[in-house]
Structure 1
Amino acid sequence: MSAEGFFRELLAEADIAIDGERPWDLQVRDARAYERILKDGSIGFGEAFMEGWLDCARVDQMAERAYRADLAGRIDRKTALFEAFKARLNPFGARGRSFEIGAHHYDAGNDLFEIMLDRRMIYSCGYWLRAEDIEQAQRDKLELVCRKLQLEPGMRLLDIGCGWGGLAAYAAERFGVSVVGVTVSREQLELGRERCRGLPVELRYQDYRDLDEPFERIVSVGMFEHVGRAHYPAFFAACARCLVPQGLLLLHTVGYPQEDVINPWYDKYVMPGVEFPTVANIADVLPAALRLEHFHTLEGAHYDRTLMAWFERFDGGWDRLAGRYGETFRRMWKLYLQGCAGAFRTEQMRVWQLVLSAGPLPGGYRFGHQVALD
């Protein structure tokens, strides 16, 4: 069977047609794409899409069908063992290379993220329990996080992976706390300091392992994915070292429901070195000094809606970005945002929020999932 015949049959199993008329059908602009995908798997598919050899009006809908039929796993199975082995040797979480992911992804350009994100520039999953747009979803997520942390005026909060300071500013303004935020992105640091000017917020260009000072509360939203499994013990050791007795840590992270490996194209072009944990990966390395008090799963629908909202803003603002980023980047970003939306839509990935305490809490930790948000 030819490479084209193989892919026609494979895609048909997921109700995806080649050169069909439905929005999720795959358009083949260059027949060389067939052999390229057969040779290089998901990297070959992604590169062919970036170069315009392939196209699709709604990548999220195509990805949703492909994930339900496990097409990506079947194409990439030949490389799965190598990817799993490489993940255990992932160098990006090491101290000497921890700043590289900041330079690769988060330093892509503040203009890009200002157009794509909400006004607070929150680059993590929104909370859509009652929200109708991305602004409300991110505001509700910040409120949820701060209430879970039980912030009180005068407390000192550490934000590990603070981004552009959106959470830090919200916590300082609404809850009266002082905040220290650390990031490995110089672009984020510069703009974040401007956005937090006049608030009791200090943003630093610093590795989390260098922290050794007391905080009543610690939060980390969307950063744990960059730590690397080999470095989970060091991450939690740093948190335990800095958290005062009876202090609280909230960890917000994307995770896999079961053991899996990162899509090779995503690893190469979007976020090199990212590793998504399983629940067991986290539980197995928690130090005795930290006690799990609360675990909350945000279903994939929350990130699905977030990613699609980001794409809508990115696509709508492309005219202001095209001169700097170019068509290859636009196609890469579409594949990234819409492809990930399809993965969350099918629950291939989820978002978890864990609350941990430094020692027993008087009366225990009390918090309901359905917190009233005003």
Structure 2
Amino acid sequence: MKESSLFRYAVVGLLFTMLAFSCDSEGVINPTPTPTPTPANERFLVVGDSGTILVSDDSGATFQAVTSGTTATLRGAAADADGHCVAVGAGGTVLYSADSGDTWHAGSCATTNTIDRVICYGSGKFVAVGEATGPDPYGIFRSTDGGQNWDRYAVTVTLRGIGARSDSQFVAVGNVSSLNDSALYLTYTTGASWTLYSAPSANFPAGAGWLYDAVGTSGGYFVAVGSDGSLYSADGGTWSAGGAVIGKLTAASWCASSSRLVAVGYGSGGGVSKGRIYYASSLGTTWTEVNPGTIKFLFDVADDGNGGLVAVGAAGEVLYSPPPADVHDAGSLWYDGVSGVANELYGVCHVP
């Protein structure tokens, strides 16, 4: 090939690269928007202020409201593969559904504390965590009957999130309310007994901050996210610092099909405070930011097991990321969903 031809191809390649990507004011590289894809038919469940419960049967593109029977703020949701769903929230509110989220009933959970998050670890089995404050020291709750009845466990810290790496090992993460320090409880026995690890100690890196969520990833690792980025651990007891991010990470989801962590949050950078989305490998040691196309803060994210994701946040914000053509690119492209509401949306889960 002639030298002039090589030059021509190099110029064309450079132009293609310039056209295919753009940068925002913070230098975050974003693919040029592509046409909105045809949604898949996965069900997602979203909860929020004033007893809001929304369901989507097109993978987060559109949502419909269902009756919750409460006006309490709902902060977290989880579901199993047999139609059991649970929503938790303010004042010890627990709701359960046996039909994949279409109808809801009040569960029995003897607490008045806010319950922030809940996860499923088997058919009809759920663990939830919340704020142990005042005369009510209970911050961990467990149900084995689809969310109807709950056992409770006393703790000494405020818990914000919970993750699992199997059906018998969990970490519940949060903070020591009087200090800017992280704390977590670890269990090896299906949620029935818990051991406290708290910062500052040899188990935590300095300046770990408050922790808001945790997930189990490949290789048996846990990753926790919070006010100062992320931590990772091979055993749930000793933790190392993960990669740095702008702002705080409020939630994370492990996309097993893509071997990728996706986290959401919000924070200031480049002169603007906005919602933020990042992805990383299984340890979270290096985070890459993706522009979500919104300035609204983001509070939670969930995946469908096939690389599709939904994120929710302030003022009715819903974003969805369809399963990518290359499975390793999960969470790289995001589109606006239609929630039909304007209130805060705090929790989202996939309904298998």
TM-score, length basis structure 1: 0.28
More strand by share: 2
More helix by share: 1
Structure with larger RCO (C-alpha < 8 A, sep 6+): 1
TM-score, length basis structure 2: 0.29
